[in-house]
Structure 1
Amino acid sequence: MMIVMLASNPGVASAHATLESSIPEANTQMDASPAAIVLNFNEAIEAKLGSVEVLDSKSNPVTNNKPVVSNGSQTLKLDLPKLKEGLYTVSYQIISVDGHPVSGSYIFVVGNPPEGIDASAFNPHKELGHEGHTVSTQLTTNQFIIYAVRTVYYASLLFSAGIMFWSLLSRGRIDALAAVLRKYELLAMRSLMISALLYVFVHAREIMSGYAGNEYGRLFFSTSVGRDWIVLLVLAILGFLAIRMGKAVKAVWAVIILGLESWSGHAVVYKPEAATVSLDFIHLAASSIWVGGFVLLLALWISDRKEAGRFAVQFSRAALISLAALVISGVAMTLLFLPSLNYLFYTAWGTLLLVKTGLVLLVFVFGGLLHLRVRRGDMPTLSLLRVDGLLMALIIIVAALFTYISPLPVNEPVAYHKMGEDMHLSLRITPNKPGVNKFVVKVWLPDKVGAPKSVILRLRSDDRKELGPIDIPLKTFEDTEITTFDGYVKEAYTAEGPYVPFAGRWTAEIRVMTKNDDEKVERYPFRNY
């Protein structure tokens, strides 16, 4: 039973900021220098800490200008001086509002420099993006440290807040309970102080990777993430004073520190913000009451079985209320975060949640046995307490992983290229999301065949096969990218508009008609979320 508070905890899942579009686009060649670099992200980023650099072919920065944030903190703009012909690299390092570092780089070309037309310097196939990307699934040492520290931190947070709540919730005269509370309040504050320091140190180190040491001041004093960390450490210190105060002060301290976690956590990324943050707070508060109560029950069971039996009656009633709050808030957050429950099957986040669902079934079994024993007036057995404690530890570990995994899959731009003797073909769809997208189709035909007579781009929904195809109104444009192939003539087409009306699985169909009325058809499946 006790694990449901974490098993249904989507409130700690995160959505990471990703680059949706840029000006200039990646791997493009421009006739003249762009006036600025513009990077558009899918969610707000920290305005005071982040960098955008443009490097020339000798890896020297071309400007000392600082990037400017606009569009609700979702756009970074860096004004540029007039650039000469050459190859340039755009490199960015930013922090999303939920505290995750995001970085990347890409190239663009101005004019027609020697390195721009030298085949040994450029690989057109790679520039078109058809080589693909590899992602390592191996857990690195750094990731292991982050997950371990997050696990200890969340366990300490729930434990310390729960102990404070139970100082107020405990009823009647249970001398043994008062003694256990005094002992475990100090232990809880110590564990929170140490884990909070580790938590801040590890994450600050991760975020500031690649930044100069003097930038740490900006992280802590100029960003909401850093300021929240300072408040967390101050609250951890004040906790030592709170345990010497009355019950009401202790409960207020618990409310404040859980409120800080809810406000600075990943729930703040989702809309409506007031609802997600409130639900996350309810989830954390109910979780802390259960965790703190279970630790107290276990401590009393070890030291005084009779007093443990008395406390078990109080704990059982509080557990039922906490369970109801956990289930309701967990389901509500899941529905707010995910457009459809089918998204549970799209990501590792969904897989973990399904695994936790299995653990929840075990929790109901063992928690039900505990509850029945308490109602009969019997003491919980040590084996049942051990199983319940083990399940709690496993779920806290999984919850720590959730805080670093997005519940929503990341939409990746479509970058498809196919080589063939009778035709080369390229398709780009950016940013590849429901709504407005930019479409680019390029066709290379042998010189003897000549430019295509017509090119048609259609989208077919693989989820709603009964729907007719959507024709994209392509127009020719002058392509300046370095994508020429000897012995082939190129024609480029583009369109922009809301031609992807809803998320799902799609197939792009490109129909190329040659001047001899020979039709070549290429299909490419893709999906977005």
Structure 2
Amino acid sequence: MQAALLCMWMCLLLIGVPAGVSAHAELERSVPEANTKYEQSPKAVELTFNEAIETEVGSIEVLDSKSRPVSNASPQVSEDQYSLTLPLPSLGVGVYTVSYSVVSADGHPVSGSFVFIVGNPPEGVDAATFDPHKELGHAGHSVSTQLTTNQFIIYAVRIVYYGALLWAAGLMLWPMLTRGRGHALPGIQQKWERTALRTLLIVTLVYIFVHARQILSGYPSEEYNRLFLQTTIGREWIAMIALIAAGFLVLRFHAVWKMAWALLVLAVESWSGHAAVYSPKSASVMFDFVHLSAGAVWAGGLMLLLALWRADRKEAGRFAVLFSRAALLSLALLILSGLGLTFLFLPSLEYLSYTAWGTILIVKTAFVLLVLVVGGILHIRVRKGDLPTGALLRADAALMALIIAAAALFTYISPLPANEPVTYHKMGDTMHLSLRVTPNKPGDNQFIVKVWLPEAVGAPKSVKLRLYSLDRKELGPIQVPIETYEDKEITSFDGYVKAAFMTEGPFIPFAGRWQAEIRVMDKEDNEQVEKVEFRNY
């Protein structure tokens, strides 16, 4: 009997020992602290665990808001092997993700992620950023990322406006480029400059009228004052009308003044598009300005060449030499600035397949390549001393019209898709569950989790929410610290007990595909796990 009791005691002791040893390392303290905002960049990331970790195995990665590593340095393990430190460069304003993966001294892998903030990051950019209703405080408007029939009129007017803008600005740039060459060219320039300005003024007024009516459809007429005086787009419209009116006075002055006017008009237009909302703003606006200026030189020069070709073929041949060089340089600048804008607007090239903006950009690129072919043939002809053929000029003009139309369309279609809130609900015999993530975009979001358990089971003992990046599966989960709150919505189910949890914060640090993992444990320590996949842009 004593031998049997001794044997049982030894077995219990042996069983109990591994239970104590198997407790693996856990993150005890971090600098910077999780979910904390700092005015200045921390100098390093330091993670302290509750037990020793392996010295040869372990990593820390810090990612910016585009999921790019901010440091290539190697982490250092402290002498007691309880801490891991990674030096950081000076971080700019933004949301940063710390991801760690270590192995405890007893061989257990431990990984996780958390978020911290530096400064006051700007609000994330998606399709909603380009909605003028937002500045006016109008709610309930959906943001379209596609070209619909209802938008046809405004885009048609936009195409004409864009063509008139490039035509007028281009004609005002060319007097400085030609410097009075030829006897017929100055007269043709003066004739078409005034015509182009009149056309631009009329088209601009029509465009503003149509666009303002579309924005304020269903709202009282008093809102027009706010639209023109209190919104960015309204003030830019007023500035553009004033500049066009001033252009008629500029026609009397030297070519330098004409060029200055043209560049100022293009600068105002470069601030009215998508470029003005992207960071760094200086780079995006500069790319847009170069893009518009190159397009204006090409469009204005081609219109002058067509007019000269009809009036004086020999002088058209001489002008074609200058134009072919300027056109090839303009197309090169169009391509380079277009690439710069695309990489600033889109996190990756796969976004080209998400919206009509990307489709139109691909079509526009194909037209530009065709123009390069036509321009190359024209350049070869004029170098040989041959006159440009009418068919070649008409082909170049047709392609120019198609490119202007494409550019006008995607200027007012959002480069990015619209983010939609996550609204997930699942009914089950053992649990009902709902998850909301609003507005569901990189940066600050509101997370709401509701759980209904059978009355016989009672309220849950714990509910945990974790986020996993499906694009960066090597990253550890981000713990979302949800807390109970008083839910005033009427969402009860007979025979079930409800528990509601909520938090707000930047727990989605970068765009992409995500998986929310909700772990619900009842009072008997029975755990149910629900996984919800979603994405944002």
**TM-score normalised by L of structure 1:** 0.71
User: Which of 356, 381, 385 does residue 377 from structure 1 map onto?
Assistant: 385
Structure 2 counterpart of 1:103:
138
Alpha-carbon contact 1:168-1:251 (below 8 Å) kept? yes
2:91 is matched with none
- What is the aligned partner in structure 2 of residue 430 from structure 1? 438
Instruction: Kindly indicate whether the alpha-carbon contact (under 8 Å) linking 2:325 and 2:379 is maintained by their aligned counterparts in 1.
Output: no
Q: 1:284 aligns with which of 258, 269, 292?
A: 292
Residue 230 in structure 1 maps to residue 238 in structure 2: yes
Q: Report the alpha carbon displacement of residue 138 of structure 1 after superposing the two structures with TM.
A: 7.3
Give the letter aligned to residue 160 of structure 1.
Answer: A
Are residues 1:188 and 2:223 paired?
Answer: no
Alignment partner of 1:398 is 2:406 = yes
The separation in 1 between residues aligned to 2:351 and 2:239, in whole angstroms, is: 35
Q: Does 1:140 align with 2:149?
A: yes
Q: Distance in 2 between matches of 1:152 and 1:135?
A: 22
Distance 2:135 2:382 in 1: 45
Overall identity of the aligned pairs, in %: 61
Q: 2:534 aligns with which of 522, 526, 529?
A: 526
3-state SS of the aligned residue for 2:222? helix
Secondary structure of the residue aligned to 1:154 is helix
Counterpart position of 2:211: 203
Residues 171/225 of structure 1: CA separation in 2 closer, same or farther (3 Å cut): same
Matching of residues 239-318 of structure 1 within 5 Å: 239-318=247-326
Q: Is the 2:301–2:323 contact (alpha carbons within 8 Å) kept by the matching residues of 1?
A: yes
Distance 2:442 2:274 in 1: 23
RMSD of aligned C-alpha atoms? 3.1
Q: Which deviates further from its counterpart, 482-491 or 509-518? A: 509-518
With 294-303 and 430-439 compared, the bigger mean Cα shift is at: 430-439
Which residue is 2:360 aligned to? Answer: 352
Alignment check: 8 A CA contact 1:313 1:374 kept: yes
Structure-2 residue corresponding to 1:325: 333
Distance 2:439 2:534 in 1: 12
* Cα distance in 2 between the residues matched to 1:474 and 1:263: 41
Count of matched residue pairs: 414
CA contact (8 A) 2:273 2:412 kept: no
Change (3 A) 1:73 1:467: closer
Q: Residue deviations 1:171-225, cap 9 Å, x none? A: 4642222232132112211210110111111122223333322332343344443
| Counterpart secondary structure, 1:420 | coil
- The answer to whether the Cα contact below 8 Å between 1:95 and 1:207 also exists between their aligned partners in 2 is no
141, 150, 153: which one aligns with 2:158: 150
Paired amino acid for 1:103: H
Structure 2 unmatched ranges of 5 or more = 1-119
Gap runs ≥5 in structure 1? 1-70, 75-92, 107-132
Offset of 1:254 from its aligned partner? 1.1
Aligned partners of 2:185 and 2:308 also within 8 Å? yes
For the 8 Å contact 2:368–2:403, the answer to whether it is kept is no
Does residue 491 in structure 1 map to residue 526 in structure 2? no
CA contact (8 A) 1:424 1:443 kept: yes
**Closer, same or farther in 2 for the Cα pair 1:136/1:470, shift >3 Å?**
closer
Give a deviation string over 1:9-33, Cα, whole Å, max 9, x none.
xxxxxxxxxxxxxxxxxxxxxxxxx
Higher deviation after alignment, 246-255 or 213-222: 213-222
- Normalising by structure 2, we get a TM-score of 0.70
Compute the displacement of 1:411 (Å). 3.0
| 2:184 match: secondary structure | helix
Closer/same/farther in 2, CA of residues 483 and 197 from structure 1, 3 Å limit: same
* Alpha-carbon shift at residue 428 of structure 1 (Å): 1.4
8 Å CA contact 1:100–1:207 kept in 2: the answer is no
1:186/1:497 CA distance change after superposition, 3 Å: closer
Residues 1:346 and 1:222: Cα distance change in structure 2 (over 3 Å): closer
Q: CA deviation at 1:427?
A: 0.4
Whether the aligned pair in 1 keeps the contact of 2:331 and 2:372 (CA below 8 Å) is: no
Structure with higher Rg: it is 2
Give the residue type in structure 2 aligned to 1:203: H
Whether the 8 Å CA contact 1:94–1:102 is kept in 2: the answer is no
Q: Is the 8 A contact 1:505 1:527 kept in 2?
A: yes
Match of 2:271, as an amino acid? W
- One-letter identity of the residue aligned with 1:164: M
Whole-Å Cα distance in 1 between the matches of residues 482 and 273 of structure 2? 43
